[in-house]
Copies of this chain bind each other. A is one copy, B any other.
Amino acid sequence: MSHNSFGHLFRVTSWGESHGPAIGGVVDGCPAGLSLGEADIQPFLDRRRPGQSKYVTQRQEPDQVRILSGVFEGLTTGTPIAFMIENQDQRSKDYGDIANTFRPGHADLAYHLKYGVRDYRGGGRSSARETAIRVAAGAIARKVLGDGVRVRGAMVQMGADRIDRARFDFAQLEQNPFFCPDPSSVDRWEELLAATRKSGSSLGAIIEVVAEGVPVGLGAPLYAKLDADIAGALMSINAVKAVEIGEGFASAALTGEQNADEMRMGPDGEVEFLSNHAGGILGGISTGQPVVARFVVKPTSSILTPRQSVDRFGHEVDVLTKGRHDPCVGLRAVPVGEAMLACVLADHLLRHRAQNPDAPTRPRLPRN
């Protein structure tokens, strides 16, 4: 069962609400002997942190992570790694409206009917604040994967405006506040976001995450497929409504000839694929090519325009969301998507190792 955990051998349990004293997580199953400290986690949290640019929520949180267990003299011990981030900027305000009113596009009504009780302050458990835990867990997952595996993400569409794929360059990511890999899109996105913020509206976004150096063999033929677990993990992020691997939905319009990734032998005995429509996963198992996934983050419903809704007393009301919010929550989802992909890969790496300890890590064939 996994109400608030994910993964099996690399297992993450998350807890905490937006306006409680803290949020935190426990990583269970991390192998012993890995070098780990707060300094390995903090940079990833800093990338996700709100309040850094005018484009994201102005909540001011230092998001300082503290490791509470599982590390001794700088090395993981094989016991559970607990970490915690204190909530500091829980702006006190009158939550009366939110307490009784159900915001359209949010889960307020469903939570109310399911649980009877809910912590409505700042979204409670469903606040995007929780994604900091995923990012911290992802930093630990990267340690498990090792330096040979590189997991990166980028925003490839803001609103209806998609990047020019021919210009995709990961090196551009740090040059702009949008995790945008195409420099030709940056100015347009800036204008778009400014206009959206001004109008109190919001935008959706599409994020692409890529893992390079993934060993061949992670996953299983059915059910515990690597792509099924990636899909579940990315869809578990707040506001995500779709996930695709490799060619994804576009593969419907391809023929079998176009979609099949042909293979040749490389000079060093490693199989070379001539394309990567499959996104690095075939039959549920990694091929050794880069694993490529995309997901959409819907436009947040926290907007300034009044929308029709109801309250807990069965009254019809109009709702608008004041206060600090993101016009494009997809922006902060890039490090989160990376982290989830890293966690799934770490989990499957351990699972693969348990069952197939002698399997090769690269797609090499004996040449003769």
The list of the 7 closest CB pairs from A to B, nearest first, reads: A107-B283, A232-B232, A105-B260, A242-B244, A202-B256, A354-B354, A114-B217
Chain A contact-residue range equals 35 or more
Q: Is the Cβ of B16 less than 8 Å from the Cβ of A257?
A: no
- With beta carbons under 8 angstroms apart, the residue of B20, B125, B251 that contacts A299 is B251
B241 close to A204 (CB less than 8 A): no
Given contacts A244-B241, A245-B242, A300-B256, is CB(A3)–CB(B284) below 8 Å? no
Question: Would B72 and A118 count as touching, CB distance under 8 A?
Answer: yes
Enumerate chain B residues within 8 angstroms of A21, measured Cβ to Cβ.
66, 68
A210 contacts the other chain (Cβ, under 8 Å)? Answer: no
Known: A111-B283, A354-B354, A368-B313. A201 touches B68 (CB 8 A): no
Q: Which residues of B contact A243 (CB under 8 A)?
A: 231, 235, 242-244
Residue of B nearest to A253 (CB): B160
Of the candidates B78, B245, B262, B300, the one whose C-beta lies within 8 Å of that of A115 is: B78
Give the docked Cα–Cα distance between A81 and B158 (Å): 37
CB of A212 within 8 Å of the partner chain: no
CA distance A227 to B110 in the complex (A): 14
Q: Is A29 an interface residue (CB 8 A)?
A: yes
User: A206 CA to B107 CA in the complex, in Å?
Assistant: 28
